[in-house]
Amino acid sequence: MKVIEFLKKNYKLYLINTALSVLIYYTSKIYDLTNYATSSVHILVTPFDKLVPFIPQFILIYNSLETVIYITLLFFFIFHPRIFTPFALSMISLFLVSNFVYVVFQTYVPRPTLEPGSNYFVNKVIELYRSDNPYNCFPSLHCGTSALTASVWFTKKKYRVVAYIMSIWVILIILSTQFLKQHVIADIIGAPLAIGIFLIFYKLFHLQEVS
């Protein structure tokens, strides 16, 4: 009975959120259209970046991103539609802002030469390199979307344990972007960018009232 009442009360939000889910999907695909070299490509490698080791085992953490995002989106879509709306708008905004930067300030990250068949982890990194061109690096969407996904769990106090675990996961995701040579240190700016965007929608939608 409570479920039916909840659905009746929030059916408009579910309709809005369904449309936003579609927009999340299509704005995420803009990345594929901008992931190529332009007439002016910038390399943001610093001496500090050259000190970062290549650790292929971090591919497992790196590849966990989409699964965790999908689970989080689905969870808040079903159980917390009011929170899902600003979460979705933040995700869409992050994709739009990031891809705008890719168009006007395209960057490139040099990758190490890897030998196929070295081991399982190296092979998975080679697969990653083949599926993702070394552009669209600044800001890092891996850093941004992971930070945004973790941030939404902090909106309700009862999920704080999950939120702290997610925060550790974000740190590991950020490290994975560095250890796999997918990004340089400057690209980590994607994380604070995403958190800043979410805080804007957090205040606009008065999410402090649902904590």
Q: 101-139, pLDDT tens digit by residue?
A: 999 999 999 999 999 988 999 999 999 999 999 999 999
Q: Are 184 and 109 in contact (CB under 8 A)?
A: yes
Mean pLDDT over 68-79 rounds to 97
HEC string for 51-116: HCCCCHHHHHHHCCHHHHHHHHHHHHHHHCHHHHHHHHHHHHHHHHHHHHHHHHCEECCCCCCCCC
Give the pLDDT confidence score for residue 196 in this predicted structure.
98
pLDDT band at 1 (very low <50, low <70, confident <90, very high): low
Residue 189 confidence (pLDDT) above 70: yes
Quick: pLDDT tens for 85-97: 999 999 999 999 9
How much is the pTM?
A: 0.95
In angstroms, the Cα distances linking 154 to 94, 139, 160, 168 are 19, 23, 6, 13
Q: Which residues of 92-105 are buried (b: 16+ CB within 10 A; e: fewer)?
A: bbbbebbbebbeee
Q: What is the pLDDT of residues 156-171, one digit of tens each?
A: 999 999 999 999 999 9
